[in-house]
Structure formats: C-alpha cells, structure tokens
Chain A
Amino acid sequence: MSAFSAIGEETEQDQNEFTPGLEPQPTWCPGCGDFGVLKALKGAAAELGLSPEEMMVTTGIGCSGKLNSYFNSYGFHTIHGRSLPIARAAKLANPGLTVVAAGGDGDGYGIGGNHFMHTARENHDITYIVFNNEIFGLTKGQTSPTSPMGHKSKTQPHGSAKTPLRPLSMSLNAGASYVARTAAVNPNQAKDIIVEAIQHDGFSHVDFLTQCPTWNKDARQYVPYIDINDSDDYEFDNTNRSEASEMMFETENVLHEGTVLTGRYYVDEDRPSYQQEKQRIGEMPEEPLAERYFDDSYEWERTFDNFLDKHK
C-alpha cells in the first residue's frame, strides 16, 4: 500500500479545491497578470482531476514566487532562480507527484538561466510556468532579461543597450519537448495550455505573459493577442523543429512591435522523459524511491555485506 495515498487518487475536483480555505490576501496589485496564472492553474488542476495533495508547486522569488501561497497544494517557495532543481529532485524522488515549477522572467531567464537550460536539456517530466512581465516587479521596476532594448528604468537610466532574451527559442534549443506561450488576458487558452503541459511526458515550458500594471505601464497589456494555432495567418507544424523555431523567432521579433502571438509552438511527444532515460540505463529504480522508506519489508543493504570485499 502506498504511503502517499493522495497520488493517483480518483477525484472530481472543483477548482475551488485549489483555493486555500483561509485564503491569504494576495500581495499582487489590482490588474496584475499573476492572477491570471493562478486562475489558469486552478482550472487546469481541476480539469485534470488532480488532488491538491498529489501536487507540488515550487516557486522562486518575486511576485511570481507567491503563487503557491495562494494555491492549495504542497508548495515549496524556494530561493531566487532555484525552483527548477528542487522540482526536478522531488519528481525523481517520488515520480507520482505532479510537479509544477514557477518563477518570473528574472528568476527563470536571468539568475536561474543555467537551471532552465539544463532542465530543458534533460527533459524532466515537470511543468515550468514563467511569469514573463518583462520587468522586475517586486523590487520596483528594474530592467529584466526580457525587457525590450531601450527600456528605461532606475537601473538603466539611458535605456537598456541589451536585446531581450528569446525565451521560446532558448527553450527549444536547450531541449524542452513542449514549448508554449500564453497570456494572462487569455484565460481559456492559458488553462488549456497548462492542462496540456501537465499531461505532457517531459519538460513543458509555458512562457506566460503577465502584464505588470504598476511598473511596466508603458508595456502593452498583451492585447490583442493572436493564437497562432487558430489563426489562418500563421501556418506551421508545431511538431517540426525548424518550423517551430522560425515561428518562435518571429513571435519574439514582433512582440515589441505590438503583435502578441501566443499558442503551442513545439510539441515532441516521442522524446522519452529524463526519468524514462534514466531507468533505461539502470540508474533509477522502477518503484518510487520515496515509498521504500515506508516499506517495512525492505531489506536495506549495508556496506559490510556489499562493499568490503574489494578492500580486503
């Protein structure tokens, strides 16, 4: 019998199940795009029939880091940029968990960029939502890795001399097997994309445009948006790597010209997840490791029997 009975439990969930009974007052500003992520995640979790206690939501630091304060599940609000390595390990330790990591554009593409690249490369079976508001919000409006060139802020008084990072292209090149962009102003698409991302076996990256009404007033509210998968203007096959790459490149180019493109950019259902690869080479047990510590019949190996011969 599992020591983790919330995992795989058949439930019919209302999305309110994912709202804490004593809901802490969110610290997000009125009109903040972060509410859109929270709502989409609650809707997706309910639609998937997940129970709050089989979900683990890890976050970094920033306004986005508060996500799991307002989402009713197991949560780990970590340190700046490090939600991914903690999420990866929890998934390896207990693969039955549904693990969602989240952070902002500074958190994921700046300070945590190395983890983002390697988590995508390894194709861990987790979902990563990046709250991309193109600014550092919580620290009061500094230029971020996705701020447009020329962006003025207190830390870039003459306007940023840097071109913005290309999150979708970077994700694809690093090895993510599901890459999408959605926007807080597009709740139905956002929920559907998160449902797909969680269902996907492998690393799912959702770049989530979240407008910051307080510190990024100049930026568009990401409307009107275009769903590239529905629009006749954008024909491409999102299972084809080069077509996906071109679509991403264009999307990143036109964002700061006023065209907000969203949708599923790349979906690779064939690539095995990291867990599957690791099990294939015999470096990960078939049974969840976390269960073993509750298995009274397990005979734990010991040095004296297993390893001393080669030292004699």
Chain B
Amino acid sequence: MTDHELIWRIAGGSGDGIASTSQNFAKALMRAGLHVFTHRHYPSRIRGGHTYTEVRVSADPVKSRGDGYNFLLALGDSFARNPSEGAYYGNEEIKPLSENLDELNEGGVIVYDSGLLDASEIEDFDERVEENDWHVYDIDLRTIAREHGREVMRNTAGVAVTCAIAGIEPDVIKSLMSDAMPDKILEPNLTVFDDAYEMVREEYDVDAPDVSAPTGEHDEEQVLLSGSDAIAYGAIDEGCRFIAGYPMTPWTEVFTIMTQNLPELGGISEQVEDEIAAAALAIGASHAGVKAMSGSSGGGFSLMSEPLGLAEITETPLVLVEAMRAGPSTGMPTKPEQSDLEHVLYTSQGDSHRIVFAPGNAAEAYYQTRKAFQIAYEYQIPSIVLYDQKLGGELSNVPASVFDEEPNADLGSVLTEAELEDAPHDDSGKYQRFQHDTENGVSPRSLPGQKGGRYLATGNEHMPAGHISESPENRVAQVNRRMQKVDNIRTELDADGEFNTVYGDEDADLGLITFGSQQGTVEEAADVLSEKGHSVKVLGVSEMMPFPKQQVAEFLDSVDEALVVEMTASAQFRGLISKELGGYGDQMSSLLKYNGNPFEPADIVEGFETALLEGEELPDNRTKFVPKVGE
C-alpha cells in the first residue's frame, strides 16, 4: 500500500447494511475517477456477527485488497449475541472495533460510533492507539442519525465523517445516494450526511488529513461489478437461457443474478429440489437444444458428480460453475478457499474428460465463461468455471468496453433437419449420432423433435446410433474419440493463448505460480518484490483441464525455482503441476493459506523472502510454507 491509497474498512454486524453502504461508497469513488477493489468478510448468519467490507481506493489500477488497511469505520453491531465477557464467542457488541485493530496499519484512522461502542472495554486500547499512531474519532453517529432519520442511517453518518476526514467531496457520495435511494429515505439521509459532515469540519482540524483519499481520472468508462456478475453476463452473452439450481453460498450469487435477468430475456430459471436435479435439468434442457447451465458450491457440487459423468458419456454440452469455499463438508461457508480443485477435476466415476477454467479476475471470468460455453457446445463436453467466494463477491472497476462484444447463441455441433437428411443412419432409420470416425472427435448432435434425428442417448457405453454395447472394439473407438476431443481442445486453447497470464520481467530467475482468484494478489506481491530488488515473474494459470503442460513447463524451465501460491492446505495445485508435468518437484515450493482469509500481497512477500530465500520459519500460522521435494 502506498501513501496515496485509502483502504477503508466499514465494520458492523450482518444486517446493518455494511454491504450496500460499501458498494455505494466504492461506486461513488469509481465515478470520481478512482480505481476500487473490495473485500468482504462475513459470517454464516443472518443477523449480527463480525462483518466488514474493505474498499481499496487508488489513483492507479489495483488488483487485490491490498495490505492491511488505513481507515476504520466501526459501527455498532445491532444484532450482537451473548454480550457477556465469558461468552463462547466473546463480547460481540464491541467486535466492530476490537476485532479490526490487528490489521489496521500504523498511522491509520479510527472512527467509531460512540453511541454504541465503548472503547474502554478494549484492553490496552489507549496504549495501542499511541503505539501505532492511530487517529481516533469517537463520534456519536447513532444520535446524529436519530435526529433526522432513523438509527440505521448511522451508516450514512459514518460515510459523511469519512468524507470529512479523508477529504472526499461530499457531492461524490451525495449524487450516488440520489441515484441509489428511493425518495422517501433520500431526504433524511442527505440531512444526516450534511449534519455529520459539518460537525466533523467544525469540531476537528481536518485540513491536514491523517489519511486522505486520492484523486484520479479514468481513460474510459468503468463499471463496478463482481466475479459473479461477470460469470452471469458471460453466460447470457453466449445465449444461455436456462439455469437450474439450488441455493448454496457462495454460488447463490450467480444463480440469483441469472434468475433475476432471465425472464426479461425470455429465458427460464428453475429452483429445484436438490443439486442432482439441478445438474440433470441443465442436461435435459441442453439435450433438447437450449443453452443451459447449473452450478453449486462444494457440497452441492458433490451431488452433481453422477450427472456430470452422464454428460461426459452422452456428450451432452453442459456448463457448470463451482464457487469454492472452505471445506471439507460444511466447512466455513462464507470463507474462500481453493481446495475444491481436485474434486472438480476428477469427481465422478471413470476417466474424466471435462474442461475446467479458473479465472483470475472479473474480466477473465466474463471471457472464460464465454469460452466455457463455446467449448461445451462445440465439443459436446462439460465445461466448468471454477471460482471462489473471493472472486465471486469482490467488486472492482472494469472498463465497460470489456463487455462490448457480440452475443453468440450458436448451438455448436448440431445438425439441422436438412443436414440430417444426408447424415448417416442405421438400417432402422436411427441417426448415427455417435459415429466412430469423425474429423475432430466430434459427432454432431440431433435434437428431439427434429425429423430424421432419432437416436438413444445413454449413460451406458453405446454404439453409433446409441444402442448399449460392451463390445471391446466399439468401447475403444468411443473412448478414444471422446478423449480425442480433449486433445483437440488443448490444441485450440494453445492456439488462442489468451487465458493464462505471465506477468513481470521475462528474464526473471524466480517464479511465482498461482491459479484462479489469487492472481491479482500474487502480481501485486511480485511488484513489491521487484521494487525490493528481487528478480521475479508470475504465471497465473486459468486453464486447469486440459492442463497447459507446455506453457507451465516452459515457465518452470525459465526460472531457477518457483513458489506455488494457493489457498489449499494440501498443495493441490502444486500436486497437479507435478502430476501433469511428471517432475519439477525439486523446483517448486508452496505457500499455502487456509485460515479463511485470502492472501494479501504482504503474505506472499513474506513467504518469498523469509521462507523461500532465507530458509527461515514463518513468524505465525497465517500461511504455511512447504519446501520443495528433497528439502
């Protein structure tokens, strides 16, 4: 983090409006020409609990939440439970203030609602304030809010105080409030805002701010959206008009966005009885000629294992999304992890042949979801977009032009009735939908209702017109053809060469390798390491299956050694690289994080310098270093 950055954390309880307030704050600053990036931390409960959202604001592009933060707005938790000292989960009432101090950077600002929070309940508060040179503003936000509106408007008061202290023009926020709020609550909110703003300007000396927001300007129009938005929009732009699902955090976001938008597009969304049904419905719709998707998170995706295999052997196009969270089992429902990697690559009996993309940011999520649909429908294979609670929920500004793309509703390798007339049929008139010999392994589909296209789709191994068969010759021919499709997809992806990302100095001696949502954080860590004089570059892998063996091998060959950064406890991604490349174990070490919080750039800088280069123990258990084979 640099001096000209604001990393603002708003903390309270679930249900206190933290999410909407922070989203509006981020959008207002994006409109003002700044780059923004958010990070959400919330518990699996409806009301109360330690909840915060960070908004990082910079004049320059940002790719992660940054390191620590420098401005705390601690609201009360209206729904705190067990407010007694001996309670198992501690005194929740004070948590919006107490739980957030450890990560507050030196010289940072603390604004807390003295109407609800009493700093004297925190051990050594004053000493810590002095030690860290924190600037404390105890302001009775609740009373300000009550005077002109309702208590819940203390969020608005808090934002106004933030503006007054950090030098943000009130109109930046107020114009967004005018857009976002219904008339009935707008007026009192604006009054609360002005009151709080004026009060700070009058009572405190804020002309030389302790922490100030930067100013900036965008080259082109920006939009603020999440990875979940980007995935849904990628699906829509590929002509996906059918989704089936069952709610589960964090996948529910994509399901909700699709469900809210599909009716106006003449599409269909089905909330069904379980995830087995969800995947099966997507298969049924796709089989009948509609571009369809489903998805879930770890536990629900487990239920989709068997339908996934059915799609593979019946060669039914299918797009699934898997939003990872910390496991196993229910694990930590609202916390990110990348530990479903192996599950998604290999689940379902038999040899898996599927496509898995793990996008690194919102723009990649959009493009890779589109590519997932294109491959699924062209090659008649399941495609999975693997992401996590971090990418799904974080908001960032993306150029609007990213989405200025033509829609593509092409159904891929499907024959029309006219084409079916000339296609091969068996002697009974059934269309040979699973021909052995095809140019690229793909045997085009017919759709139910088409004249001349009838055939049997079956989860059993089958002959060209679909009849069940255990003939060895037919078996080998069909397996080889289905596997050949995967090889051809690899060739196509190699030719495109657009989804994996190499970042940094090409001639660097040391490498950082990561996949999916950690990409931006690792790149920022590389920037810091480069500034500190290290020779380092980054490979961010998005093509998880089929694996880009050649590109990863070339990267590893070009460096002396590499640190593999992933949010798993068992180094799954490093294991995947070793398995796919059959070596390099003596060249790769791991930096793992699985405490429920995504990496911050500083975690990686520390792991790289302390553990990899100096061979010393990491000072705490936030991250874990696993040395290369033989050490």
Interface set of A (CB-CB < 8 Å, partner B): 3-7, 9, 20-24, 52-54, 56, 58, 61, 66, 68-69, 72-79, 82, 85-90, 92-94, 96-97, 114-115, 117-118, 278, 282-285, 287, 289-290, 292-294, 298, 300-304, 306-308, 311-312
- A residues less than 8 Å from B406 (CB atoms): 302
**How many residues in B have their beta carbons less than 8 Å from beta carbons of A?**
80
- The verdict on B261 contacting chain A, using a C-beta distance below 8 Å, is yes
- A residues less than 8 Å from B403 (CB atoms): 302-304, 308
Q: Within the complex, what minimum Cβ distance (angstroms) separates B458 from chain A?
A: 4
Q: A82 — nearest CB in chain B belongs to which residue?
A: B280
Q: Within the complex, what minimum Cβ distance (angstroms) separates A41 from chain B?
A: 15
- B residues less than 8 Å from A76 (CB atoms): 284, 287, 314, 456-458
Q: Are A292 and B225 in contact (CB under 8 A)?
A: no
- B residues less than 8 Å from A303 (CB atoms): 233, 236-237, 403
Q: How far is the CA of A302 from the CA of B455 in the complex (A)?
A: 34
Q: Within the complex, what minimum Cβ distance (angstroms) separates A117 from chain B?
A: 8
Q: Are A293 and B450 in contact (CB under 8 A)?
A: no
Binds A, one of B69-77, B325-333, B459-467: B459-467
Q: Are A293 and B409 in contact (CB under 8 A)?
A: yes
Q: Are A115 and B427 in contact (CB under 8 A)?
A: no
Q: Are A92 and B285 in contact (CB under 8 A)?
A: yes
Q: Are A304 and B404 in contact (CB under 8 A)?
A: yes
Given A93-B284, A294-B416, CB of A301 within 8 Å of CB of B427: no
- B residues less than 8 Å from A90 (CB atoms): 284-285, 287-288, 448
Q: How far is the CA of A289 from the CA of B263 in the complex (A)?
A: 12
Q: Are B288 and A292 in contact (CB under 8 A)?
A: no
- B residues less than 8 Å from A66 (CB atoms): 468
- A residues less than 8 Å from B456 (CB atoms): 68-69, 75-77
Q: Are A88 and B281 in contact (CB under 8 A)?
A: yes
- A residues less than 8 Å from B263 (CB atoms): 282-283
Given A4-B447, A304-B404, CB of A79 within 8 Å of CB of B306: yes
Given A74-B448, A75-B466, A79-B306, CB of A289 within 8 Å of CB of B274: no
Q: Are B277 and A56 in contact (CB under 8 A)?
A: no
20 contacts between A and B (CB under 8 A): A21-B427, A21-B428, A22-B427, A24-B467, A52-B454, A75-B455, A77-B468, A85-B272, A86-B287, A89-B244, A89-B280, A90-B287, A114-B273, A289-B241, A289-B242, A292-B409, A293-B291, A300-B407, A300-B409, A304-B405
Given A76-B287, A94-B448, A304-B404, CB of A284 within 8 Å of CB of B229: no
- The verdict on B239 contacting chain A, using a C-beta distance below 8 Å, is yes
- The verdict on B119 contacting chain A, using a C-beta distance below 8 Å, is no
- The verdict on B289 contacting chain A, using a C-beta distance below 8 Å, is yes
Q: Are B282 and A89 in contact (CB under 8 A)?
A: yes
Within 8 A of A (CB), among B386-431: 400, 403-409, 411, 416-417, 426-430
- The verdict on B449 contacting chain A, using a C-beta distance below 8 Å, is yes
Q: Are A307 and B261 in contact (CB under 8 A)?
A: yes
A9, A118, A294 pick with most chain B CB within 10 angstroms: A294
Q: How far is the CA of A146 from the CA of B372 in the complex (A)?
A: 43
Name the contact of A312 in the complex, choosing from B400, B429, B449, B452 (C-beta under 8 A).
B400
- A residues less than 8 Å from B229 (CB atoms): 311
- The verdict on B361 contacting chain A, using a C-beta distance below 8 Å, is no
Q: Within the complex, what minimum Cβ distance (angstroms) separates A283 from chain B?
A: 5
Name the contact of A293 in the complex, choosing from B264, B290, B429, B454 (C-beta under 8 A).
B290
Name the contact of B449 in the complex, choosing from A6, A61, A292, A304 (C-beta under 8 A).
A6
Q: Are B268 and A283 in contact (CB under 8 A)?
A: yes
Q: A56 — nearest CB in chain B belongs to which residue?
A: B448
- A residues less than 8 Å from B289 (CB atoms): 93-94, 290, 293
Q: Within the complex, what minimum Cβ distance (angstroms) separates A62 from chain B?
A: 12
- The verdict on B453 contacting chain A, using a C-beta distance below 8 Å, is yes
Q: How far is the CA of A58 from the CA of B396 in the complex (A)?
A: 45
Q: How far is the CA of A7 from the CA of B310 in the complex (A)?
A: 27
Q: Within the complex, what minimum Cβ distance (angstroms) separates A96 from chain B?
A: 6
Q: A115 — nearest CB in chain B belongs to which residue?
A: B277
Q: Are B268 and A78 in contact (CB under 8 A)?
A: no
- A residues less than 8 Å from B236 (CB atoms): 301-303, 306-307
- A residues less than 8 Å from B452 (CB atoms): 53
Q: Within the complex, what minimum Cβ distance (angstroms) separates B295 from chain A?
A: 15
Q: Are A4 and B400 in contact (CB under 8 A)?
A: no
Q: A8 — nearest CB in chain B belongs to which residue?
A: B449
Q: How far is the CA of A82 from the CA of B279 in the complex (A)?
A: 10
Interface set of B (CB-CB < 8 Å, partner A): 31, 221-225, 229, 233, 236-237, 239, 241-242, 244, 261-270, 272-274, 276-278, 280-285, 287-292, 306-307, 309-310, 314, 400, 403-409, 411, 416-417, 426-430, 447-460, 466-468
Q: How far is the CA of A66 from the CA of B267 in the complex (A)?
A: 33
Q: How far is the CA of A289 from the CA of B267 in the complex (A)?
A: 7
Q: How far is the CA of A58 from the CA of B448 in the complex (A)?
A: 11
- B residues less than 8 Å from A96 (CB atoms): 449
Q: Within the complex, what minimum Cβ distance (angstroms) separates B314 from chain A?
A: 8
Q: Are A289 and B468 in contact (CB under 8 A)?
A: no
Q: How far is the CA of A301 from the CA of B261 in the complex (A)?
A: 11
- A residues less than 8 Å from B430 (CB atoms): 20, 72
Q: B223 — nearest CB in chain A belongs to which residue?
A: A311
- B residues less than 8 Å from A73 (CB atoms): 454
Q: A75-B457, A303-B237, A311-B225 are in contact. List 13 more A-B contacts (CB 8 A).
A: A20-B428, A21-B428, A53-B448, A74-B455, A82-B306, A89-B242, A89-B282, A94-B290, A97-B448, A115-B277, A284-B268, A289-B242, A308-B400
Q: How far is the CA of A285 from the CA of B31 in the complex (A)?
A: 37
Q: Are A53 and B287 in contact (CB under 8 A)?
A: no
- B residues less than 8 Å from A5 (CB atoms): 417, 450-451
- B residues less than 8 Å from A293 (CB atoms): 239, 289-291, 409, 411
Q: B450 — nearest CB in chain A belongs to which residue?
A: A4
Q: Are B266 and A54 in contact (CB under 8 A)?
A: no
Q: Within the complex, what minimum Cβ distance (angstroms) separates A171 from chain B?
A: 16
Q: Are A53 and B454 in contact (CB under 8 A)?
A: yes
Q: Are B459 and A302 in contact (CB under 8 A)?
A: no
Q: Are B449 and A285 in contact (CB under 8 A)?
A: no
Q: Within the complex, what minimum Cβ distance (angstroms) separates B80 from chain A?
A: 33
- A residues less than 8 Å from B306 (CB atoms): 79, 82
Q: Within the complex, what minimum Cβ distance (angstroms) separates A67 from chain B?
A: 11
- A residues less than 8 Å from B288 (CB atoms): 56, 89-90, 93-94, 97, 290
Q: How far is the CA of A253 from the CA of B563 in the complex (A)?
A: 69
Q: How far is the CA of A7 from the CA of B453 in the complex (A)?
A: 12
Q: Within the complex, what minimum Cβ distance (angstroms) separates B470 from chain A?
A: 12
Q: Are A302 and B407 in contact (CB under 8 A)?
A: yes
Q: How far is the CA of A289 from the CA of B343 in the complex (A)?
A: 33
Q: How far is the CA of A85 from the CA of B221 in the complex (A)?
A: 43
Q: Within the complex, what minimum Cβ distance (angstroms) separates A294 from chain B?
A: 7
Q: Are B266 and A300 in contact (CB under 8 A)?
A: no
A66, A86, A118 pick with most chain B CB within 10 angstroms: A86
- B residues less than 8 Å from A72 (CB atoms): 428, 430, 454
- A residues less than 8 Å from B468 (CB atoms): 66, 69, 77
Q: Are B290 and A79 in contact (CB under 8 A)?
A: no
Q: Are B277 and A118 in contact (CB under 8 A)?
A: yes
Q: How far is the CA of A5 from the CA of B466 in the complex (A)?
A: 22
Q: How far is the CA of A82 from the CA of B291 in the complex (A)?
A: 20
Q: Are B280 and A86 in contact (CB under 8 A)?
A: yes
Q: How far is the CA of A54 from the CA of B426 in the complex (A)?
A: 19
Q: Within the complex, what minimum Cβ distance (angstroms) separates B273 from chain A?
A: 4
Q: Within the complex, what minimum Cβ distance (angstroms) separates B549 from chain A?
A: 32
Q: Within the complex, what minimum Cβ distance (angstroms) separates A120 from chain B?
A: 11
Q: Within the complex, what minimum Cβ distance (angstroms) separates B193 from chain A?
A: 22
- A residues less than 8 Å from B281 (CB atoms): 85-86, 88-89
Q: A286 — nearest CB in chain B belongs to which residue?
A: B266
Q: Are B285 and A93 in contact (CB under 8 A)?
A: yes
Name the contact of A85 in the complex, choosing from B276, B426, B448, B460 (C-beta under 8 A).
B276
Q: How far is the CA of A4 from the CA of B418 in the complex (A)?
A: 11
Q: A22 — nearest CB in chain B belongs to which residue?
A: B428
Q: How far is the CA of A185 from the CA of B561 in the complex (A)?
A: 75
- B residues less than 8 Å from A75 (CB atoms): 454-458, 466
Given A79-B307, A114-B277, A289-B268, CB of A86 within 8 Å of CB of B237: no
- B residues less than 8 Å from A3 (CB atoms): 416-417, 447, 450
